[in-house]
Structure 1
Amino acid sequence: MTLSPSRYQLPDSLFYQNRLSQAGDWHYVLSDRFRELLLRPYKGRELPVLPAAQPDALLEGQALAQHFAQLQYLAAPLLQADDLEALLARVQALASRSVDGAIASIMLGSWQDYTAQHAINAALLACLLGQALQLPPDEQHSLALAALCMNLGAAALHNELSQHDGPLSTAQRKQIQIHPLVSSALLRELGYQQALLHQCLLGHHEHPDGSGYPFHLNKDDISPLALLLRMIDISTAKLMPRSYRQAVPAQRALAQLYTQQSDEQFDPVHTAQLVKLLGVYPSGSFVRLASGDTAMVVAQGEQLNRPQLVLLRDMEQRLDAEQHEISSQLTVQVETRHLQRLGQLWPLA
């Protein structure tokens, strides 16, 4: 698909013009003053050391989220592309080594920094979908990196909004609308020049009917990779709790994607693959059995509604899904102290 760069012109607004300039096709540069204002609160921070690999998927996902919670507020020259690539390699390794473990990490992540956990979860889901859809390697890399970095331009604000249930202020709305451009500009500073990556970043909040932002593009002007990232972003947000609501159960979240499909215009191949990956009961889900016992889903089975299970009171033995009927999915808030015990279900060694 060939996109027209003429549709990606910097919006003619003083709010945008005072903060960014355009240096070429899909290429935006932060103004010196705006860059100073953006990064001033984080001056003096040191580059964090990437933590050692963890023994299971839950602890690994948690360690990577905690690392990105520090990394996301840094910029060049302190932050380098190699720092992001090292983190992304760990995310990709987790997704490759344990599909069920990666999904459980998304479902069970106990977050202190919403933006960082969302980034790791979205990057994991991007890796899983990229593999499942057999995207070319350059598209898989661009999609995963864009998922990890799509909110760099407003990391603190996204954390603020995770605690906020209500309409945005005018200032918040303007910052949200500009953040795809800012995230793209920050990655340019790190040396990322691939048009595919920036088309994905810049378009991940565009809507096929033209109601998205920041360019109000129509479907033919939006990168298919950006539309896939939009689906990943929405799905990840639904599956994560906020301070004012619990996580949306996977069944309902997937149903909402389908009911919205005529409006969102997600690729049906993408939504079908997402359903296949997560299943009716994703790994890491808690369920009530017809017997009254509480169980956890540890892996998908041959049938979407027949996953592999363990009883919470006896996690040593996996149950025969054909002999244990699931009556309902449960929403359980998992605390950080529980992750080590639960993580043994998805070892990485």
Structure 2
Amino acid sequence: MKLGTVEKGSHSAYKVRRMYLFSGNEGQMALILVLLVLGISAVVGVSFLYRMRLEVKAVKSFGDSLRADYLAQAGIERAIATLKNDTNEYDDLYEEWAQDFKESLGEGRYYLASNPHGESTKEDKEKVGIFDEASKINLNMAGAGHSTQGWTPYEINLGKLEGLSQSKVEAILKYRYGPDGAPGVRGKDDDKDREALESDGIDNDGDGAIDEPGEGVDEPDEFRPDSPYGDDNPFETLEEIRLVPGIGEKTFNRIRDYITIYSYDKNVNKKGALRTNINTASPDEISRALQRGGLAPDRAHQLAVNIVDFRDPDSYPTEYQGKCGIEKTPYINEVMPFFTSSVSA
């Protein structure tokens, strides 16, 4: 009996203990599952809130960029309209296009500033400007100032800019002309003008010799920014000059307001037609060009023959439309706009 009681008691206790232990495991598992579900829900909720916040920021950013784009376009259109209304034949800094103004459009505003590179302020980030680029020195056209013939813009000396030594000017030209160091292809008459320049009576390369053999080869005018020859490397932005050895940020900031890459004279008139070259044009071409400029036909004819006789090497007066040119003498200037002479039939 005792043994049976003990056995029964032991068996019952064992069963109770097993039931108790089993019930305890279920509670722990349930708690773990609840915590796991809550954790996942929290992660999903935080992720959802984060994505919603990003969406709100993206929408706001898109709206701001759209407003900024329309605001910038408004400023550009205002600038274009101002320039179109500038119909006179000259430019100065007292005209409307050179004056500062600002306008507000809805939530935005823009400034038209004549000098956004001046003292830096918070508002500078909103400024646009119209500048007389033609009054600046073109990095792609100016040179070292060796020539004095009035032949090309290459005679404009970059070295006159404060902060540019002669060595820096030479470095700019070397960068511009590429590895071979010459305009166009070294040793080649890229623009096919050698024959003309060897016989025009002008020291085109400014080396002190007139019409020497090879004049016209490796000349500055063979550097063409619009369609470069050979390994030429025209500047495409102002900031590119900082890649030139010796031109650092300090030098760039000193000269940036005086240089440009846009004021390139393409040698055409307002209608896009090629200008008349008085060194090669006939009396008829020169006369018609002068008449288009407003001169009376009679005076234009006389000036045309005077110009031709001034440039030609012979001593025979040129005749055109009843007008006779004046050959060189040591006493008078050949270009005499008010002098007329007639050739009898």
Pairwise TM-score range, normalised by the shorter structure: under 0.3
Q: TM-score, normalised by structure 1?
A: 0.23
Using structure 2 for the length normalisation, give the TM-score: 0.23
Give the structure, 1 or 2, with the largest relative contact order (CA under 8 Å, sep 6 or more).
Answer: 1
Q: 1 or 2, which has the higher helix percentage? A: 1
